Structure 1
Amino acid sequence: MLTKGDDYPIHQTPEPIAYAGSDRNFYDRYFFNAYSPDGTEFVAAAFGVYPALNVADAHVSIVKDGVQRCLHASKVLNMERMDLTVGPIRIEVLEPLQRLKVTVERAEGIACELTFEGRAFPIEEPRFVKRIGPRLFMDYTRLTQNCRVSGWVEMDGRRLDAAGWLGTRDRSWGIRPVGAPDPQPTPGAGVPGFFWQWTPVNFDDRSVFFHVNADPDGQPWNTRAVILPDGAGPEGGWEADGPSMDVTLRQGLRHAERGTLTIPLADGAATVDLEPVTTFLMRGIGYGGEWRHGGLKGELAVAREDIDLSAADMGAMENLHIQAISKAVLRAPGEPERQGVGVFEQLILGPYRPYGLG
């Protein structure tokens, strides 16, 4: 089947762009977040294409005054991967790897127009490859870019001016569980568990990126930290192997009360202290819940969901995956202390022995 993408020189296989290999879990996704300088106002968006499921979906979620307001949209893809619109939500690539735009035509009381402009060339994270026994669980690539944000967000007639906001965007593509879960367990897969932390942080003249995926015993299988000055190109920045995060968990929860990231550098270690101030539930943009990524909702479905964060059970399975908007303090050898803001994304499923979680 020929589609609009076939007129662009972007093929990766001998087949038309409509076909993305043989794995039903193949996906191609955009993610964005943006926040006010004090972290009290926050918006996130996600847009995903699932070629083998023939589904596309998009989500926008806004946190203000303790309420998370979510707009969900899903459609049948009809194998057209060049159409970056799902219902009222649209993505535009204004300048590849530099400027992108998220627009929501007013629906269910929510609208926005946000432009994300990269502070430096995106970083490419190490390829994520993980098997559960014999089954390929993950195999994907991701780029991440901290951004300056402009535009506005509107909810129920109240408009927030995003001038001076900062944020992060990423693009990832490959294989990851999407759509309806597989009901059949895999014999010999070992102890199930998933540990994930991700901390893109904005400072005045630089960005700090850290992520870690680890096994239940605490052994990382994918981790890296990067300090990237504004304006850096593809080869810019300081990259460090062996970063570590020291965390104090909230009482009775799997979310951090605070954390300290240590980044080894040639002239000594840099540290970033993180203090969460606002919680964002990732299910608001399709990470689990009724509107999980790749779920089939019919030809077109659009719905709003409001979540009272003060009443949400943060220990419930659907609320384990969060981004904590956090104040940050960077201390680097021979440099003045820097204040910043970013997110501390967290997901701990199953046991994690370094934290005493069974």
Structure 2
Amino acid sequence: MLHPFDDFPVHQSSAPLMHVFSDAPGVYDRYFYNGHDAQGSIFFAVAFGVYPNKQVMDAAFCVSLAGEQHSVRASRHCDRDRTNLEVGAISIHIVRPMLEHRIVVDNRFGVSADITWRATSALLEEPSFKHLENGRPQMDYTRMTQFGEWSGWIEVDGHRIELADAGPITGCRDRSWGVRNSARSANGPKKPPQFFWLWAPTTFDDEYTHAAVNDHANGRSWHRSGAVTSRVAHDSTSTESVLNESAVDRCTAVHIEPKWASGTRWLASATVTLERWRAEPIVVTYTPLLRFFMRGIGYTHPEWGHGEWKGEFAETRDNFVIADANPGDPTMIHLQNLCRVESNGKVGTGVFEHLVIGPHEPSGFASVLDGAA
């Protein structure tokens, strides 16, 4: 199956670009974005994924306003052209690769948006995520993260928010591709679930920090990475500058110490220490201001999970009140916390994401969903 992109010399094998490298059902290609002000008055996120072996393309947009999350979701059959980034009301437009993306949400359910993200940092290529479960590949994917600023507007039920009037709206995006959750969909003996994930992209006036950790149940990490990069004006970026690897200071060691709210797996506070080659460590503290539940864009959602077949086309809207969230609900344990952050006298904003399922000895978790002491 050929594609117009086969005219470019970018092949990595003898196969045409549209040929999937594996028959695993967990093969995917995803866009993720978030944006927020410094106080948590507005927080929004986008997830847009392609699952070629399932022939599914799906998308979700969610905005948190005044204590409520409003989500629009869509899914469609995608059997051929995976470069048409439109699913129902939601579309992504790559205006300038790695520099400027535009996201449009048509007003079909009372939620609409026309927002543009512009890069203000170099690209951070995270170390490859490779994880085996019972000897079977569970994860094998690559992800890049990049910081930026947002412009445009969002409207919910007739209430329009001009992002320029809401103060600077910052955030980050990531692009990931490969295989996820492959072992879970395979036949054979199962084991109790265990997954420990922390991710902390952080914004200061002059620089960005990034940290990520995956742990086994005993606390030993199978993935751990961190980086620091400068903050630059979006009108000063170029493809060459954002691809400049020397602009990224990769950390020699990363330590993340979360404290969990009693009886829950929700964050109370955290400290991240980034050790660097020939430089003083950076210590960042995180104090949550707002909880954003990732089920709003499909993660852990009981009906609209990523890559689920919904037929030729389906779309919907749903809302929920944040104060009604139950910490014991398995669909409410994957969060991004908007945080006030401090480091050596500097104050900034950060997002601290966590998903913790099953045992984790350093946290004191012994079963699938028990809470902190």
TM, length-normalised to structure 1: 0.93
CA contact (8 A) 2:25 2:185 kept: no
Which residue of the partner structure matches residue 146 of structure 1? 147
For residue 243 of structure 1, give the secondary structure of its aligned residue in structure 2. Answer: strand
Which among 252, 265, 271 is matched to residue 254 of structure 1? 265
RMSD: 1.8
Deviation at 1:183, TM superposition (A): 7.0
2:176 to 148, 151, 172: 172
1:301 aligns with 2:314: yes
Give the residue type in structure 1 aligned to 2:245.
P
Aligned length: 350
- Aligned pair partner of 1:352 in 351, 357, 360: 360
**Does the 8 Å CA contact 1:27/1:173 hold for their aligned counterparts?**
yes
Partner of 1:21: helix, strand, or coil? coil
AA partner of residue 234 (structure 1): E
1:74 — aligned with what? 75
The aligned residue for residue 274 of structure 1 is: 286
Q: Which residue of 2 aligns with 1:48?
A: 49
Q: Is the 8 A contact 2:196 2:214 kept in 1?
A: yes
Does 52-61 or 235-244 show the bigger shift? 235-244
Q: Which residue of 1 aligns with 2:251?
A: 240
CA distance in structure 1 between the partners assigned to 2:158 and 2:4 by the alignment: 37
Structure 1 match to 2:185: 182
- 2:298 corresponds, among 244, 264, 286, to 286
SS at match of 1:32: strand
1:20-72 CA distances to partner (integer Å, 9 max, x unpaired)? 12222110000000001222210000110111111000000000111000000
Q: Kindly provide the amino acid, as one letter, of the partner of residue 309 in structure 2.
A: L
| SS of equivalent residue, structure 2 residue 253 | coil
Letter in 1 for 2:105: V
Structure 1 segments of 4+ aligned residues over 6 angstroms from their partners: none
Specify the code of the residue in structure 2 equivalent to 1:339: V
Higher helix proportion: 2
Is 1:327 the equivalent of 2:348? no
Q: What is the match of residue 236 of structure 2? A: none
Separation in 2, partners of 1:299, 1:4: 25
For the residues of structure 1 that align with 2:337 and 2:71, how far apart are their CA atoms?
17
TM-score by length of 2: 0.90
Question: What letter matches 1:341 in structure 2?
Answer: T
